[in-house]
Each structure stands twice: as C-alpha cells, then as structure tokens.
C-alpha cells in the first residue's frame, strides 16, 4: 500500500511512499516550515505499491495496437 501525507497548515503533500518514509517526510516538512506547530493534516492511501504502476501507458499501447489492427483490416 502507498501513502501520501498532506500538511494541515499549507498545501504541501508528500509523494506516494511507504508509510514510514511518507510520515518522516511530513515530520521534516513541519520541522522546517511550521516549527512551533504539532504535525497534522490528512493521509491518503492507495492499494498500489509505490513505483510499480504503469499508469496509462499500458492502456494507450493497447489502444494503439487495436487502432493499427483495425486500420490494417480496412485496407
């Protein structure tokens, strides 16, 4: 599972990371930008593991192949 932590004081958010690394980045952000404020905000989660997704690339490649196949059959 991947986590993204959002700052409760500004619009900062961490990248999608495993939970300990995302929490550490938020703590570092608070120490630098909001030193007298206890950490807060919200946590966003996703089921995917960070760095393993192919995004839309696989869907676009499949669509391109289908379009090429359809165009080849028409001629």
Closest-CA residue to 30 (of 41, 21, 39, 22): 39
pTM of the model as a whole: 0.62
Q: What is the pLDDT of residues 2-45, one digit of tens each?
A: 999 999 999 999 999 999 999 999 999 999 999 999 999 999 99
* Total domains present in the chain: 1
The domain in which residue 31 lies consists of 2-74
Q: How many CB atoms lie within 10 A of CB 69?
A: 10
């Amino acid at each position: 599972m991947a986590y993204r932590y959002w700052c409760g004081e500004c619009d900062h958010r961490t990248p999608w990371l495993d939970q300990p690394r995302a929490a550490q980045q938020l703590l570092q952000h608070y120490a630098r930008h909001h030193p007298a404020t206890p950490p807060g905000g919200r946590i966003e989660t996703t089921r995917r593991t960070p760095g393993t997704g192919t995004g839309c690339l696989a869907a676009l490649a499949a669509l391109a192949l289908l379009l090429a196949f359809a165009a080849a059959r028409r001629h």
